[in-house]
Structures are given as structure tokens and as C-alpha cells.
Amino acid sequence: MGKPTGFMEYQRELPVDRRPSERMLDWHEFHEHFSEHSLEVQAGRCMDCGVPFCHTGTLISGMASGCPINNLIPEWNDLVYRGLWKQALDRLHKTNNFPEFTGRVCPAPCEGSCVLGIIDPPVTIKNIEYAIVEKGFEEGWIVPEPPVRRTGKQVAVIGSGPSGLSCAAQLNRAGHQVTVYERADRIGGLLMYGIPNMKLDKSIVQRRVDILAQEGVNFVTNTAVGTDISALALRENFDAVVMCCGATRPRDLPIGGRDLQGVHFAIEFLHANTKNLLDNGSGDGAPISGRDKHVIVIGGGDTGTDCVGTAMRHQCRSITQFEILSRPPDMRQSDNPWPEWPKVYRLDYGQEEAAARFGDDPRSYLIMTEKFVGDENGHVKALHTIDVEWVRDDNGRFIPKKIPDSEKVWPADLVLLAMGFLGPEETLLDQLNVERDARSNAKADEGVYATNISGVFAAGDMRRGQSLVVWAIHEGRGAARECDRYLMGTTALPM
């Protein structure tokens, strides 16, 4: 333990983000950085508590409590406090293939279950994780490490998101020859096209992809397995196949006017804008743009926030975000005890930017969209809403009940549907005859990851449903371990 009294002596501090008025003018990452000394002080707040829920990685009340990949957080906090940064990086890489991703986009369930957080603000775990890996790149400690031997086994990984990349990295480390198939023109899956550049710079994704390629992972882009290449042919030509295709079927809103121009799924909007930015070097000329438009985002999660932040950089005329649930409380409630994820009100980066420009949080709570209205050219111009309250039905389940005389009409030139995802697309699963679970995901038990088809495994959102990047990395590592066991009869790969 670095400093036994550190949690009593030091207050939680984070680097201040770039000012909203400044960062809205570009697509660069908005986080600033701390000095090494400040980071070492923050690491000294870790209590080395003996019951480190921060790295337990369990589900409580359906939400992550602690780190799903079981990061050895107290260990690398202690090493950072002592100035032993390289050793801290070694500890971090034992459990996490891509801390540069999680250190930027993870909501940090580790901090929500930090023991210090019971009485004081928790340790700045996420910021320290980010600093460790970035120092590793700066110092040249992170270099390609090809396996010393090859097994002669070949594995196809379908999908290059966080689960696919972590699975590929681990299987390659075991000595297998891995080929990753991606239907987009760039590797990275949602890391590349689902998360905006200001939240995760795409050069950071490419940096890690380049290392994996130098370690021997083969990448094939612009190839949709099941369409451009048969999934059955893939199974015949490889010793094993791991499906990491994500839960890419967005939840729709089948109400009147849904077919109007200007109503898009959020992922269409985000993908098109990031591709335009990467292809053209600027955010101008995006095929779906919020410039000078009244933009409404339906959905209050991370994807909705990313839509808000993107529309703000387009210089939209107005921005509104609808959430059907109630506003979270400012403080943790008695029915949401530690170490559960704290369900409290937060102002994320997109909402902070909207508030800076328009004067208030853009979210409207307890509101339901009833129909879209178009102009004479078939383009959306408005939408109609009604307020709701949550009540129990005859079976005791909570349902939204419309409040009479609460209808409202909102101007809308661009509507983005960010209401989550239903599950994986069906083409690949159909071709391989893979069984589904009750939620239409690929059926494969957790910890085993094997489907009903011999030699075919499933991991990530495709198996567990829409979830966090850190869960996807956990799943990819686990599937690699079980795939290695299938190929070799035993495995030395860690979880």
C-alpha cells in the first residue's frame, strides 16, 4: 500500500476538460491531462482495502459492479504512487488488452464500487488507467510482441470490435494464425464507427490495430461474412470460428411518419459522420448533418449523448433529447446501495456542450413520441409527444401511462433514434444454423462461449446483448481461452 493515510489526506481531483465553447469547434478529444505528480497523488488515495470490489466484475441488479475484466486496480495504483509506471503497465496489460480504449470510453463501474466511495468521492481509477497506457506508448514500452511459436491452427474471427480484437489478440498470443473479417472499410467495429472521434480518436484505434498486424494478425476489410463470403466456407477452411459481430439491429420506432426523410437510426448518423471525417479530414459535408437544423435525439443513453455531441459540432439550430424514463436523483438512493452502479444524475459531455450553448441540459424526461409530421416534400418537420408517468399494471410490472392534455409539438428537421439494439443480424447465424437464446442472441453459455455447432464460438454483444466495451473485451478474452482449449486440448490463456 503506497500511502496508508492517502485517502484521508488527498481530495479527488480530475484534469479539467477542454471548455465546451472551444471543443465544439473541432473533432479532437476533449480530455486534458494531469501531471505525473498529480496522478501519483491520486493513486495514493487507493485504500488497498482488502475487499477490492473495484475489480470484482459482477452483476448486481442487472448492472456491472466493479471491473468486468478484473483489472488489478489496487496493485497498479500502488505502483503508480511509487512512480513505478512500467510495472504498473505490466499489471494493467495482464487483464486488459486495450486500456487506451477503456480509459477513454468506459463508464468506470470500478469507481462505482470503490470502497472509498462509500464515504468520499472514489479513486480516479479510469483516469489513472488512461495515464498508465499512454505513458507506455510515450516511453516506447508498448511494442509488437509476436508469438515465439506457431501452432499450425487457423482461426477466423468475424467482427473487429472490442470483443473481436481482444479475441484475436489472445488467440494470436497462443500461437494460432488469426484472420479477422470486417465488413466496413476500416478495422475497429464500434470503436471506429460507433463512437465519435472527440470521445475516442481514431488514430488511437489504428495505433493498436497496427500493433496487432505486426504481431501477425491478418485483417480483411470490406468483407461481410454471410454475403461476400459464405459462413459455411469459412467454417470448412478454418479450424475454428469465433463470431464477434455485435448486436447491430437497432430498435425502431414504428409510429406514424417513420418513413419520412430526416428520420435516421443513430448508428447511421454516427457511422456516416466518422467516415466522412476520416475520408475528408474535416467534419464538413457529412451525408447526414445537423447543421442549421432543429435536431431531436430519441434515447437517453451513451449513443444518444454521442448524437448530441456530434450535432453540436455541426452547429445545429437547436438540440433536444427525449428520455422516456424519469430524471435520476442527484444523490444515490437507499434502494441503490453501494456497491451497485450509482444511478444518479450526470451531465455528460454532449449535454454539457448543449447547456453551454443553449443554456440548459437538452434532455426532456418522461416523454413519449407519438408521431412524425412531414412537409410537402416528404421530409420531417415536426414531431408530436405526450408526457407519461410510470405505473404498475395488473401483473405488477411498470409501464408508461400517458398523461392527458400533455401533448406537445416540436419542430424537427433531423430525428435520430438512439433507443438501443435488439440483437445480432440473422444472416450469419442462419447460414451456420447457430441456435439463439430467448433474446435472439447467439446461444452460448458464459464461460464456455461454444455454440451448438462444433468449432464455432460466440462472444461480445452478439452473445450477451448490447453492453459495455469492457464487457466485450472480457467476452473476447474468454472466448479465445475456450477456443484455444478446443484446438489444443488445454489452454494457458488467462481470462
Strand order in the sheet with 318-323: 263-265, 414-417, 294-298, 318-323, 363-365
- Cα end-to-end distance, the chain, whole Å: 26
% helix, strand, coil for the chain, step of 5: 35, 20, 45
CATH class given for the domain over 6-138: mainly alpha
pLDDT at site 350:
97
* CB neighbour list of residue 139: distance below 8 Å, 6 or more residues apart: 85, 86
Residue with cell 459531455: 349
Bridge partners (DSSP) listed for residue 220: 181
CB 385 within 8 A of CB 394: no
Residue with cell 452473445: 463
* Dist. CA 477–CA 216, nearest whole Å: 17
- To the question of domain 252-419 being in CATH 3.30.365.10, the answer is no
pLDDT at site 64:
87
Phi, psi of 297 (to 5 degrees): -110, 125
Q: Specify the fold of 154-248+422-488.
A: FAD/NAD(P)-binding domain (3.50.50)
- DSSP string over 325-371: SPPPPSS--TTS-TTS--------HHHHHHHHHHSS--EEESEEEEE
Phi, psi of 267 (to 5 degrees): -65, -30
* Dist. CA 245–CA 249, nearest whole Å: 11
| Residue among 378, 366, 373, 357 at smallest CA distance from 411 | 373
Burial 329-351 (b: 16+ CB within 10 A, else e): eeebeeebebbbbbeeeeebbbb
pLDDT at site 49:
87
* Dist. CA 113–CA 337, nearest whole Å: 10
The three grid cell numbers given for residue 426, joined into one nine-digit string? 440473422
pLDDT at site 495:
78
Between the CA atoms of 258, 262, 264 and 269, what dihedral angle is there, to the nearest 10 degrees? 180
* Dist. CA 453–CA 435, nearest whole Å: 9
Q: pLDDT (tens digit, 0 to 9) for every residue of the chain, 495 residues total?
A: 678 899 999 999 999 999 999 999 999 999 989 999 999 999 999 998 888 899 888 889 888 899 999 999 999 999 999 999 999 999 999 999 999 999 999 999 999 999 999 999 999 999 999 999 999 999 999 999 999 999 999 999 999 999 999 999 999 999 999 999 999 999 999 999 999 999 999 999 999 999 999 999 999 999 999 999 999 999 999 999 999 999 999 999 999 999 999 999 999 999 999 999 999 988 788 999 999 999 999 999 999 999 999 999 999 999 999 999 999 999 999 999 999 999 999 999 999 999 999 999 999 999 999 999 999 999 999 999 999 999 999 999 999 999 999 999 999 999 999 999 999 999 999 999 999 999 999 999 989 999 999 999 999 999 999 999 999 999 999 999 999 999 999 999 997
Tell me how crowded residue 456 is: count the other CB atoms within 10 A of its CB: 27
Q: Where are the alpha helices (DSSP H) in 238-334?
A: 266-280, 302-313
- Say if 154-248+422-488 and 252-419 have the same CATH topology: yes
Question: Which residue ranges make up each domain of the chain?
Answer: 6-138, 154-248+422-488, 252-419
**Alpha-carbon separation of residue 264 from 62, 111, 269, 416 (angstroms):** 29, 34, 7, 5
- DSSP string over 435-480: -B-TTSSB---TTT-B-SSTTEEE-THHHH-S--HHHHHHHHHHHH
CB 297 within 8 A of CB 263: no
* Dist. CA 173–CA 150, nearest whole Å: 9
| Residue among 66, 76, 58, 172 at smallest CA distance from 112 | 66
pLDDT at site 3:
85
Which amino acid makes up residue 475? E
